[in-house]
Amino acid sequence: MRRYLRIVVLCLACGFCSLLYAFSQLAVSLEEGAGGGGGKPQAAAASWLAGGGRGGARGVGSAGPAAHPGRSDRYSLKVQPAQRMHLAVVACGERLEETITMLKSAIIFSIRPLQFHIFAEDQLHDSFKGILESWSFLQTFNYSLYPITFPSENAAEWKKLFKPCASQRLFLPLILKEVDSLLYVDTDILFLRPVDDIWSLLKKFNSTQIAAMAPEHEEPRIGWYNRFARHPYYGKTGVNSGVMLMNMTRMRRKYFKNDMTAVRLRWGDILMPLLKKYKLNITWGDQDLLNIIFFHNPESLFVFPCQWNYRPDHCIYGSNCQEAEEEGIFILHGNRGVYHDDKQPAFRAIYEALRNCSFKDDNIRSLLKPLELELQKTVHTYCGKIYKIFIKQLTKSIQDRYDRPPKER
């Protein structure tokens, strides 16, 4: 009789637990459907961030300092936080110049104020501060500097994944707990139109989408993932994470489907198990992990066209980004070091023009003619043959921002 009684009690306990789990999943789905708007996000638990992280953060502006636990004083412009667009980048090694050029391109064309979140190795901090503080007269941006921060028990493994520090981006939703939405870009990105325009894509997310990226390839015949990947990947050709727009409130709230357990996991809980399972099968590090996550959660990804993340692969074997052919390149991504060698001189010409450009209106207006002359010297390459798509949107951005009277801008 006692044996039967124990069985009955066990069955009741199991049923009760199942009921609780069902209600919790229902609550989560309702939360996600409500969107990731205002309010303070409930960040995923992460013991290594319990003290607010290590190191300092500092900004540029005119208002007084505000204390932040675990950080040095931060200064900010007299701009409401909701009005700012948040842009994050991770810089390690010899990436200072690239990063500064990227930030300059964002400032030159953008309309609304920017908040930069710069994650960099300690030896780069003074250089970043010196340059960015020399730009403080612009009063169009704030910045915060952070150390490279990984979970202490696996820091070495995360830091050496793919490129030094690249996987830092995976932890941004857990570190920047008070930031609702964020645009992450690689250091080798150049904005050829206002950040405002890609930021506006957040409004196009449906209730299930938490992030946006561009396809890794437009042409499957030259695709990497569909030919060589030894792990799951999103869609037909995978996605490229060099430009990644995120609603981080939704990312922190979501429970993700996965192939490691029947239980859905939150962002802070899925990363390390994913790395342990696939670390011998991945080539592109954190980008591969993102592809695996969105393979299992395709409803959570918004895919934007290739012109928002235009790379040498889009022209090196012939043009294969139709949207860029029609409207021009919106964001240029000079991966494979093409800004610093002679393999793709069209990419290098754009980079050097923006690197050498000052913030003076006349200097920006006069950028186009010498740039076009340089691009005409690149027509011996496939990318150079279509050089006009490199300046089509750039020309419009300069005209819209600097050729109109101030009241019309």
Please indicate, yes or no, whether residues 297 and 354 belong to a single structural domain of this protein. no
* Bridge partners, residue 146, by sequence: 119
Q: What is the pLDDT of residue 5?
A: 57
Please indicate, yes or no, whether residues 271 and 166 belong to a single structural domain of this protein. yes
Q: Is residue 37 part of a domain?
A: no
Q: What is the pLDDT of residue 156?
A: 73
* Bridge partners, residue 189, by sequence: 333
Query: Among 243, 250, 59, which Cα is nearest to 145's?
Result: 59
**CB under 8 Å to 383, separation ≥6 — which residues?**
312, 315, 316, 344, 346, 347
Please indicate, yes or no, whether residues 248 and 352 belong to a single structural domain of this protein. no
**CB under 8 Å to 379, separation ≥6 — which residues?**
385, 387
On the 0-12 / 13-18 / 19+ scale of CB atoms within 10 A, 310 is buried
Q: Is residue 114 part of a domain?
A: yes
Please indicate, yes or no, whether residues 291 and 323 belong to a single structural domain of this protein. no
Entry pTM:
0.82
Please indicate, yes or no, whether residues 323 and 292 belong to a single structural domain of this protein. no
What whole-number distance in Å separates Cα of residue 57 and Cα of residue 181?
Answer: 19
DSSP state of 50: T
Q: Is residue 354 part of a domain?
A: yes
Per-residue pLDDT of the chain (409 residues; tens, 9 = 90+): 555 556 555 666 656 655 555 555 544 444 444 443 333 333 333 445 543 333 334 444 332 223 333 343 344 544 455 489 999 999 999 999 999 999 999 999 999 999 999 999 999 999 999 999 999 999 999 999 999 988 877 777 777 776 768 789 999 999 999 999 999 999 999 999 999 999 999 999 999 999 999 999 988 888 889 898 889 999 999 999 999 999 999 999 999 999 999 999 999 999 989 988 998 888 888 999 999 999 999 999 999 999 999 999 999 999 999 999 999 999 999 999 999 999 999 999 999 999 999 999 999 999 999 999 999 999 999 999 999 999 999 999 999 999 865 555 5
Q: Is residue 54 part of a domain?
A: no
Q: Is residue 66 part of a domain?
A: no
Please indicate, yes or no, whether residues 89 and 155 belong to a single structural domain of this protein. yes
Q: What is the pLDDT of residue 346?
A: 98
Number of domains comprising the chain: 2
DSSP state of 217: -
Q: Is residue 8 part of a domain?
A: no
Which residue range forms the structural domain that includes residue 248? 85-304
Q: Which two tokens stand for residue 143?
A: 């910045």
Give, in degrees to the nearest 5, the angle at Cα 339 between 335 and 341: 105
Please indicate, yes or no, whether residues 273 and 373 belong to a single structural domain of this protein. no
**CB under 8 Å to 177, separation ≥6 — which residues?**
41, 43, 49, 252
Q: Is residue 71 part of a domain?
A: no
Please indicate, yes or no, whether residues 219 and 300 belong to a single structural domain of this protein. yes
First vs last C-alpha separation in the chain: 83
What whole-number distance in Å separates Cα of residue 38 and Cα of residue 180?
Answer: 7
Please indicate, yes or no, whether residues 207 and 122 belong to a single structural domain of this protein. yes
- How long, in residues, is the chain? 409
Please indicate, yes or no, whether residues 168 and 92 belong to a single structural domain of this protein. yes
Q: What is the pLDDT of residue 2?
A: 56
Please indicate, yes or no, whether residues 345 and 285 belong to a single structural domain of this protein. no
What whole-number distance in Å separates Cα of residue 401 and Cα of residue 368?
Answer: 14
Q: Is residue 313 part of a domain?
A: no
Please indicate, yes or no, whether residues 125 and 267 belong to a single structural domain of this protein. yes
Q: Which two tokens stand for residue 297?
A: 């959660």
